Amino acid sequence: MKFLVIRFSSIGDIVLTTPVLRNLAQQVPGAVIHYLTKPVFAQVLDGNPHVRKVHLLKEDFDAMIRSLKAEQFDAVIDLHSNVRTLRVKQALGLPSASFRKLNLEKWLLTSFKWDRMPRLHIVDRYLETVARYQVNNDGQGLDYFIPQDTVSPFETMSLPFRSGYIALVAGAAHFTKRIPIDKMREICMRSGQPVLLLGGKDDRQAAEKVAAAFPGKAWNSCGRLSLHQSAMLLRDADWVISSDTGLMHIAAALRKKLVVLWGNTVPAFGMYPYYGTHPVPFYNLEVEGLSCRPCSKIGHQACPKKHFRCMQDQSAERIAQIISEE
């Protein structure tokens, strides 16, 4: 069978769909998998041996549909389930299976703190979408493939980092998911190892304020590296400290030990680190007793309550204790 899998965004969400790709490819005889996503996120699938071809979402919808029809797919697997994916499915007119987003349950949890979410990771919910094809979870967790031609960033690092370091993810798409600058400084201060700051161009200024306070101990890589180079640094870290971000899910795909600081989102949404059956230690840290959490299923550009206690009250001492005792 020839499948078109659709997930438009974002980095972490696409990484979370990789068990579907692998299990379809390995368990459905003759399966051929194509993937439709936004151009900016296509790199997440670089080197994935289970994807034959990546198609890009285009502004010229009709031209995109013509190119997709020419592929003669047998079925569509919609792992995004929004208005645009509905348009694609209707235009192709093929048998399809669609992911249930549980928007009502998420709204109840964010608006009224009524938790009706299933106790099931989103990966397992993605896999339910392809259960009709007799696909089972192989327990191997997430995939992330670093292309062999990726230029190593290690030559630019100072010597202290080459004998071990902690990776600290400084960025996130939304403010209420980001670890505050003062908290990152405290994490660096309490760390017994060098700290490598990871993120994109938008995170560089904040990370520089942290690195400047710890010359020789903290190194700011934000905005200097490609996604695959950042993955290399995650791969070789002793621990990864992150909020709810795409790099967190890449770290889980690389089977790294994780400490996750949860801000406006909560693990109950089903997007905590996923390792399958691999026994990798990870810790979800939440500030207890905040009646405002979760305040959004995605995030805000400012704390609605103006105190941001979900991140400001995170314990750097607890993080240091976890890392030192493992």
CB under 8 Å to 219, separation ≥6 — which residues?
A: 157, 158, 161, 194, 195, 196, 197, 211
Cis peptide preceding 160, ω within 30 of 0: no
- What does the pLDDT read at residue 204? 95
- What tens digit of pLDDT does each residue of 228-267 get? 999 999 999 999 999 999 999 999 999 999 999 999 999 9
Cα–Cα distances in Å, from 202 out to 109, 142, 261, 277?
Answer: 30, 27, 20, 35
Q: What is the mean pLDDT of the chain?
A: 96
Domains and CATH numbers, the chain: 2-133 (3.40.50.2000), 154-325 (3.40.50.2000)
b/e map 237-275, b = 16+ CB within 10 Å: bebbbbbbbbbbbbbbbbbbbbbbbbbbbbbbbbbbbbb
The pLDDT assigned to 17 comes to: 98
- Express each pLDDT in 53-112 by its tens digit: 999 999 999 999 999 999 999 999 999 999 999 999 999 999 999 999 999 999 999 999
Buried b (16+ CB within 10 A) or exposed e, 109-122: bbeeeeeebeeebb
Q: How many residues does the chain have?
A: 326
pLDDT at 167 over 90: yes
How far, CA to CA in Å, does 284 sit from each of 28, 97, 258? 35, 32, 8
pLDDT > 80? residue 46? yes
| SS3 assignment, position 261 | strand
Instruction: Read off the pLDDT of residues 265-303 as tens digits, 9 standing for 90 and up.
Output: 999 999 999 999 999 999 999 999 999 999 999 999 999
pLDDT digits (tens, 9 = 90+) for 176-206: 999 999 999 999 999 999 999 999 999 999 9
Distances from the Cα of 324 to the Cαs of 75, 198, 241, in angstroms? 49, 21, 13
- Asked if residue 127 has pLDDT above 70, the reply is yes
Give the C-alpha separation, 324 to 206, whole Å. 26
State the pLDDT confidence band at 158, using cuts at 50, 70 and 90. Answer: low
Alpha helices in the chain (DSSP H): 11-16, 18-27, 61-69, 83-92, 103-112, 122-128, 181-190, 204-211, 227-235, 246-253, 309-312, 316-325
What count of Cα atoms within 13 Å lies in the side-chain half-sphere of residue 215?
1
H or E element at residue 53 = strand 53-56
pLDDT digits (tens, 9 = 90+) for 198-235: 999 999 999 999 999 999 899 999 999 999 999 999 99
pLDDT score recorded for residue 157: 72
Residue 204 carries which DSSP code?
H
Q: How confident is the model at residue 154 (pLDDT cuts 50, 70, 90)?
A: confident
